[in-house]
Amino acid sequence: AKAEGRGTHRLFESQMGVQVRDRRLLEHDLRGALVSQQLSLVYQPQVDLESGEVSGFEALVRWIHPERGAVPPSTFIPIAEETGLILQLGEWVMRTACIQAASWTAPLMIAVNVSAVQLHAPNFVAFIERLLAETGLAPERLEIEITETAMIRNMNRALANLRQIKALGVKVAMDDFGTGYSSLSNLRAFPFDRIKVDQSFIRSVHDNDQSAAIVRAVLGLGKGLNLPILAEGVERLEELDFLRGEICDAAQGYWFSRPEDISAFEDVVRGSRKT
């Protein structure tokens, strides 16, 4: 099978999705990756649109497989969630991101993705509390990003954990707003500090009236509820111009920067330059 070459394998994988046998192999390899330093974090700036300055970074995990090369998170995160490996992986991500942010001179925010499995784990809050104490990171500088789908699994448990996390001073953002099991009642039920509008709406905002109307409505909602809005996946100047015109609070996307190794942002985290 190896002789078929990786090109064939990649093509197959991208067209058909990861097959069962392949998933099992990946699961096995992911366990190894956790202990053999194949995982790393990249960071993507989040920009305050009023000041134009970087307010923080979202940490995104990367896996460089020794034979396959880069495996996208959209492939291995679901596997990690199904197998429970996400608990270990998530703790590694959280710890690495907090240690990184604690080392910055500029008191910028660090946003970390947290999956449903983690949010529902009984020791999650205690882990965060211990980590903040260990790293000395100010709780207000940490923001966890959660999707609505993550909340829905077990509402009560999720809500209880979120309240405790917020009581620590940690911020909570609703990720991918507008996709999945979106419901406006979630905005009222859960104590979010801000909303990240999914990139699928931003992508077409400058040439699609429906997307523009949706984004406008979400921005209005944010104002009414006093919830800052961050627009995800801003790739073009037209998109940014639209968002500025509609008074969107913050944005993130390739227009500003792709997610990069933190060394690419040395000046920013030192507080000596803007971007």
13 and 25 Cβ atoms separated by less than 8 Å: no
> Between vectors from CA 82 to CA 188 and to CA 158, what angle results, nearest 5°?
25
Q: Which stretch binds Ca ion (CB under 5 A): 9-17, 120-128, 137-145, 240-248?
A: 137-145
CA 111 to chain centre: 7
Other Cβ atoms within 10 Å of 233 Cβ, number: 18
175 binds ligand C2E (CB under 6 A): yes
233 binds ligand C2E (CB under 6 A): yes
* DSSP annotation string for 196-265: EE-HHHHHTTTT-HHHHHHHHHHHHHHHHHT--EEE----SHHHHHHHHHTT-SEE-STTT---B-GGGG
Q: In the bound complex, which residue of the shown chain has the CB atom lying closest to Ca ion?
A: 145
148 binds ligand C2E (CB under 6 A): no
Helix axes 124-135, 155-167, angle to 10 degrees: 20
Q: Which stretch binds ligand C2E (CB under 6 A): 5-13, 16-24, 67-75, 242-250?
A: 67-75
How far is it, in rounded angstroms, from Cα 114 to Cα 118? 6
How far is it, in rounded angstroms, from Cα 145 to Cα 147? 7
Supply the minimum distance, in Å, between the C-beta of residue 80 and ligand C2E. Answer: 8
The correct pick among 93, 125, 229, 240 for binding ligand C2E (CB under 6 A) is 93
Residue placing its CB nearer to ligand C2E in the complex, 5 or 82: 82
By CB under 5 A, the residues from 31 to 70 that bind Ca ion are none
78 binds ligand C2E (CB under 6 A): no
Q: Which does 60 bind (CB under 5 to 8 A by kind): Ca ion, ligand C2E, none?
A: ligand C2E
By CB under 5 A, the residues from 95 to 124 that bind Ca ion are 113
By CB under 6 A, the residues from 36 to 65 that bind ligand C2E are 44, 60-61
Q: Which residues does 122 contact at the CB level (< 8 Å), separation at least 6?
A: none
Q: Which stretch binds Ca ion (CB under 5 A): 16-24, 48-56, 131-139, 175-183?
A: 175-183
The correct pick among 29, 91, 143, 176 for binding Ca ion (CB under 5 A) is 176
13 and 20 Cβ atoms separated by less than 8 Å: no
Residue placing its CB nearer to Ca ion in the complex, 87 or 197: 197
The correct pick among 254, 261, 267, 270 for binding ligand C2E (CB under 6 A) is 254
The single-letter DSSP state of residue 91 is: H
Residues that bind Ca ion in the complex, under the rule CB under 5 A: 113, 145, 175-176, 232
